[in-house]
Amino acid sequence: MSAVTDGRKKVLEAIRAATAGSASRNGGATAGTAAEGHVDIPRDYVRRGDMAVSARQERFVERLKEYDAEVMECEPNGLAAAVAAQLAASGRRRFVTPEGLPPEWLAPGFEWKIDGNLDISDVEQAEGVVTACFCGVADSGTIVLHHGPAEGRRVITLLPDWHLCVVRASQVVETLPEYFDRCREQGTGNREQRARKLPKLVTWISGPSATADIEMTRIKGVHGPRFLNVILVKD
Amino acid sequence: MSAADHPILDPALAPPFPVAALPVLRNVQLRKNVAHAIDVIQAKRARLVEEKTDWQALRAAAAAIKDETLENLGGYLEQFEERCTAAGGHVHWAADAAEARRIILEILREEKANEVIKIKTMTSAEIQLNPFLEAAGVRAYETDLAEIILQLGNGEPSHIVVPALHVNRAQVREIFARTMGIENLSDDPMALTAAARNYLRQKFLEVPTAISGANFLVAETGGVAIVESEGNGRMCLTLPRTLITLAGIEKVVRRFQDLEVMLQLLARSATGERMNPYTSLWTGVVPGDGPQNFHVVLLDNGRSSILGRKTERQTLRCIRCAACMNTCPVYRQTGGHAYGSVYPGPIGAILTPQLEQLRHAQSLPFASSLCGACYEVCPVKINIPEVLIDLRARVTDQERHTAGKFFDPMYVGLRVANLIFARAWLFHFAQWAGRIGAKLVTRKDGWIHSLPSVGAKWTQTRDLRGLPAQTFHEWWAERKTASQQVGGSASLRAGDPTLSPEKRRKDGARDVGGSPPIISPKSGEQDGATSKEAR
């Protein structure tokens, strides 16, 4: 399709003409080096926090609650009981989970659907979802999902109205940049090789779905889950 | 709102800013709605920015990240294209709005789509996508709550983050009750939100094609990020079979890690939250999760022409947080529709005329008091006043050369001034002549309250200070002689040089304990007598 390539050529030529003289890596041949050119960015902002572990956990809980998430803390050996208690307290029966959750989380007495490739309508009918996560960020009360095993496809944490997320204290970092450091630590080799190991899917969740579109009144629950419950495991 | 008052957000058709602002200035309800919304966001933003001790460092990093990306934009876009394609996405390039619309329609035709669901995207409003799709037989459903309000109520966006902030709950209730056919709908925002949820739920589950914008494109990975609150974005990014993302070419950042700066700045600036409820990032097509057919349309539409200009390039750093309009004293009074573009407020005042390559929207760079509040809050440090002044100069240059402006009093006046200021002897002569002339119109209080003929326009809302009996040169020479005699130095003190006591009261400014006497440079010589006024 020549029209398509024409648009590409036109846009790139206009950009090249506009940036001529200002760019070092503007040639197509050297485009692949973009990931390495980060010499001149002043990064004087707080990259690593300095809070003690307990203070960091407290901050995480406080910030989650501030955005209407419910938080429960437990010891590692009390986790299965905590999950069961949360499920019971929710008053819901039908739950969906991703593959890869520890079987002891799937408390008896509830209806469980394990998502491999469930129909959307099955997911839609679930009243709640239970997952783990990749990371928690204390500074903003954020839970990060990479949608790997135990976190599940994006749709399962979207359609059910109630999301129970288990976060281990060791997964909680203080600042957002620390989360990005953890992502880079996943890969090995040079920057280029590590770049290929970066997550393909990420969802940062900070409290339940919300809107303030009508007179700036914050309303919890529009299209995403209306309820976000978190169990913080003090491991 | 009557049809005549319906706001026009097409820069090619919209009336100039002062004309477009009039209906809003007369609409008390609208101004109240705008002021309320802005006050709420501003207060939330201020609190959260304050708690961030490294705010200025984050701003500096964000500006540098964006600058570096823009400098090498061609390379980064190609890298994005390569990585996104490798991950299973399709990348298209559109030089202008028409091309972007054509590409999107082609994809929709291939999909045999007659309906699409949309995530709020100002870029699609910029290219006027919805009316185009409708004419082509494709029904577009907006899914952001504010966009639903506007779409069902046949309204226009007045803000880039909270597009319906000019509509209050009673008006939303009326729109929803009428268009959704709900009787006994309450005007409680909770009930209204629930109505929108029900209205859209089936659409999310059934419509197989979605259109989105983008907050960030990551060159390093080929990923795309979208920042939202309601979950309508996640629905559109997850459920459909096909996803089309329309993104301005300036949305690209170099590295995944750059998001650690951008995400911290964006939510705090936009909605006064530490993080918005949902941020999604996806890379091409992920088997088994989300749309299996993914297209990105990279849109130029005037952006590369901004890129080529040294002062104006910073406009493209914008991450569309709207903090500038929330803080702008002009926007506060006029709301967004007066800007005649989907991009209102200070950023709109610089972005729109540039996207239009100064063929339209020439009045916008003048819709500012240059107070600088927008620059102060901008998370990517766009010096908006600097760009405004540059654009004013370009508009003036353009206007100067159009027929009929040669004898325009302003241009005649400026040419005369140019002549005088360039020659010292003429300048001194003009000062002498001016003092004589000014005496005729100066009142006893030392101020000129009204000028004759074309000057009357100026004095309609301002006073002009009468010319002092002595010029600065004369005073300086005299003072030098005097201080040499005394052996010390006198200091120059002046009161507020812009407002006479009379206009101060007219403008409703606070008058504390009687207005301080305005002192001329001459009285400043008597140091002791004036020191108590100079605060």
Q: Is B508 left (phi over 0), alpha (psi -120 to 50) or beta?
A: left
- Nearest residue on chain A to B147, alpha-carbon basis: A213
pLDDT 10s digits, A179-202: 999 998 877 777 778 788 899 999
Provide the pLDDT confidence category of residue A33 given band limits of 50, 70 and 90.
very low
Which structural domains are found in chain B, ordered by start? 52-301 (3.40.50.10420), 412-490+498-509 (no CATH)
For chain A, percent of residues with pLDDT exceeding 90: 74
* Model pLDDT, residue A2: 53
Q: Single out the residue of B157, B89, B144 nearest to residue B117, CA to CA.
A: B144
Residues of A in contact with B238 (CB under 8 A): 154-155, 158
Per-window interface: B 126-145 vs A, CB < 8 A:
143-145
* Model pLDDT, residue B487: 56
Is residue B270 within 8 A of residue B323, CB to CB? The reply is: yes
Would you say residue A4 has pLDDT above 70?
no
Q: What's the rounded mean pLDDT across residues A44-50?
A: 96
A52 vs B: CB within 8 A: no
Would you say residue B25 has pLDDT above 60?
yes
**And the tokens for B353?**
């005329």
**And the tokens for B504?**
């101060």
Q: How many Cβ atoms from other residues are within 10 Å of residue B26's Cβ?
A: 10
Interchain CB distance below 8 Å, B249 and A11: yes
* Model pLDDT, residue B502: 52
* Model pLDDT, residue A3: 60
A185 vs B: CB within 8 A: no
Would you say residue B525 has pLDDT above 80?
no
pLDDT 10s digits, B468-487: 888 888 889 888 888 777 65
Q: What's the rounded mean pLDDT across residues B90-108?
A: 98
Is residue B204 within 8 A of residue B236, CB to CB? The reply is: yes
Q: What's the rounded mean pLDDT across residues B145-149?
A: 95
Which strand ranges, in their side-by-side order, compose the sheet holding B216-218?
A172-173, A135-137, A142-145, A201-205, B278-283, B223-228, B216-218, B252-253
* Model pLDDT, residue B3: 44
- The alpha carbon of residue A145 is apart from the nearest alpha carbon of chain B, in Å, by 10
Residues of A in contact with B152 (CB under 8 A): none
B73 vs A: CB within 8 A: yes
> What are the extents of the domains in chain A?
53-233
Q: Which CATH class is domain A53-233?
A: alpha beta
Distance, in Å, from the CA atom of B360 to the CA atom of B347, rounded to the nearest integer, reads 16
* Model pLDDT, residue B534: 37
For chain B, percent of residues with pLDDT exceeding 90: 76
DSSP 3-state percent helix, strand, coil across chain B (nearest 5): 55, 10, 35
* Minimum mean pLDDT range among A223-227, B66-70, B134-138: A223-227
Q: What's the rounded mean pLDDT across residues B103-116?
A: 97
Residues of B in contact with A99 (CB under 8 A): none
A88 vs B: CB within 8 A: no
- β partners of residue B139: B115
pTM: 0.87
Q: Greatest CA separation found in chain B?
A: 93
* Model pLDDT, residue B163: 95
* Model pLDDT, residue B457: 83
Q: Tokens 């009557």 correspond to what residue?
A: B2
Residue of A151, A204, A213, A216 to mutate when probing chain B, most B C-beta within 10 A: A213
* Model pLDDT, residue B144: 95
pLDDT 10s digits, A96-145: 999 999 999 999 999 999 998 899 999 999 999 999 999 999 999 999 99
* Model pLDDT, residue A162: 97
Q: What's the rounded mean pLDDT across residues A75-83?
A: 97
**Mean of the per-residue pLDDT values of chain B:** 89
- β partners of residue B298: B93, B247
Provide the pLDDT confidence category of residue B249 given band limits of 50, 70 and 90.
very high
pLDDT 10s digits, B324-364: 999 999 999 999 999 999 999 999 999 999 999 999 999 99
B117 vs A: CB within 8 A: no
Would you say residue B522 has pLDDT above 70?
no
Would you say residue B521 has pLDDT above 50?
no
Residues of B in contact with A44 (CB under 8 A): 54, 57, 60-61
Would you say residue A34 has pLDDT above 80?
no
